[in-house]
Chain A
């Protein structure tokens, strides 16, 4: 499955419709990055939403920067005497850099 990459703010109801969900693969990521299936429906959605298209490298860089900010915040948020397990219970798992879906 080929993908398109874009940036668009999730405006809530109607941003992705039931038909959209059925017509093309989509996944949302940090930095308002969206990975959209490259078919006629996905292409039309990008146009309809006025999304800014990105290359995979550009989209990945946006996501990486956002996740890195979250990692830094997670590492800096400590409570004296807290164990590693307690920290996970309090903050959730430490965010990780990951790769966007590719073809």
Chain B
């Protein structure tokens, strides 16, 4: 028969009284399995059997819990506050096809394309962007990972696309040379344990790891793609969406990396390429990108769930941070300006009070 949820209609005792002693958690009487209405109810249990009266709010209520706070004479419940995107400080130089990394309060935007390719770098402090050390050469269509004070950028154009660069919080230095030149890549991990995935040209499935000085080719993804994004660590990473020919064909595929091999992750709800992302393999966040532009989704390690949309839809953006506190910056909304920043706050449990006003 499968799982049958207990409710008023199937928790009726003899005589038409609803069982208030165990309410929704007790054993379902076989005689009530076929009940599909409460037509025979003659009385219901006291509210005190369903809603507890307590002197204060419970320390760790579960989502959906209801209680009566006798100290404040208020009927309360554990509810959910929706996720939100709020505007952050605008980039000093609007740009798309940039690289980024860091956190919502210590972010880094580097390179990209405005009306030309850029070597400009900006650091985010949670309120505004300030100039950082300039890149050795203008670069766009690339990816970055790490932190604001230990960042890694790799590939891209118009530089030789097998180069990488390292940032120490104030200046850039040359990193190791990749085994395969590429652009439109995704990346994740740290400056000394980084992973670069996908890219083109042609569309690539191969993967390289960086140890802080040199790149090593490792196990390829199952699905080749470009305009891809990555989150997480070298030992627990996630490659998200991207496109494959004929363009524009955005995908829903994700793949999980354990430091050695790739396995299929959950499909996203929206087909996406040129997207932004943040978080980890088990608490991921993706946002923006072609072609849905505003869509945001959260990942729990197996399933992607739709969340609150970006205010400004865009593709070719960058992102950083965590699922709880993400950040989206730059990108192409279809026409200038390309300088908008948005800060993400995930949904959270919160104690709410029933009101009658």
Instruction: Report whether A15 and B87 are in contact in the complex, using a CB–CB cutoff of 8 Å.
Output: yes
- B29 within 8 Å of A (CB atoms): no
Within 8 A of A (CB), among B82-97: 82, 84-90, 96-97
Residues of A within 8 A of B345 (CB): 18
Cα of A12 to Cα of B90 in the assembled complex, Å: 5
How many A residues touch the partner, as a band? Answer: 20 to 34
- A40 within 8 Å of B (CB atoms): no
Are A96 and B245 CB-contacts (below 8 A) given A10-B90, A18-B84, A21-B308?
Answer: no
Q: Mark A1-43, 1 if CB is under 8 A from B, else 0.
A: 0000000001111111111111000111111000000000000
Cα of A31 to Cα of B141 in the assembled complex, Å: 26
- A53 within 8 Å of B (CB atoms): no
The listed residue with most B CB atoms (<10 A of its CB), out of A12, A20, A29, is A12
Residues of A within 8 A of B245 (CB): 85
Instruction: Report whether B84 and A22 are in contact in the complex, using a CB–CB cutoff of 8 Å.
Output: yes
- B3 within 8 Å of A (CB atoms): no
Residues of B within 8 A of A20 (CB): 86
Are A95 and B313 CB-contacts (below 8 A) given A18-B345, A21-B308, A85-B245?
Answer: no
Residues of A within 8 A of B58 (CB): none
State the Cβ distance, B24 to closest chain A Cβ, in Å: 30
- B148 within 8 Å of A (CB atoms): no
Cα of A14 to Cα of B127 in the assembled complex, Å: 9
Are A92 and B247 CB-contacts (below 8 A) given A20-B86, A21-B85?
Answer: no
Cα of A29 to Cα of B86 in the assembled complex, Å: 16
B215-223, B234-242, B328-336 - the one binding chain A:
B328-336
With beta carbons under 8 angstroms apart, the residue of A28, A67, A69, A92 that contacts B311 is A28
18 pairs, A vs B, C-beta closer than 8 Å: A10-B87, A10-B337, A10-B340, A11-B87, A12-B87, A12-B89, A14-B86, A16-B87, A16-B311, A17-B86, A18-B84, A21-B86, A22-B82, A31-B335, A70-B335, A85-B246, A89-B200, A95-B335
Name A residues whose Cβ lies closer than 8 Å to a Cβ of B.
10-22, 26-31, 66-67, 69-70, 85, 88-89, 92-93, 95-96, 98
Query: 19 more A-B contacts (CB under 8 A) besides A66-B335, A85-B247, A92-B332?
Result: A10-B340, A12-B90, A12-B341, A13-B88, A16-B86, A16-B311, A18-B86, A21-B84, A21-B86, A27-B313, A30-B333, A30-B335, A30-B336, A67-B335, A70-B335, A88-B247, A89-B184, A93-B248, A98-B334
4 closest A-B pairs by beta carbon, nearest first, are A21-B84, A70-B335, A28-B312, A15-B87
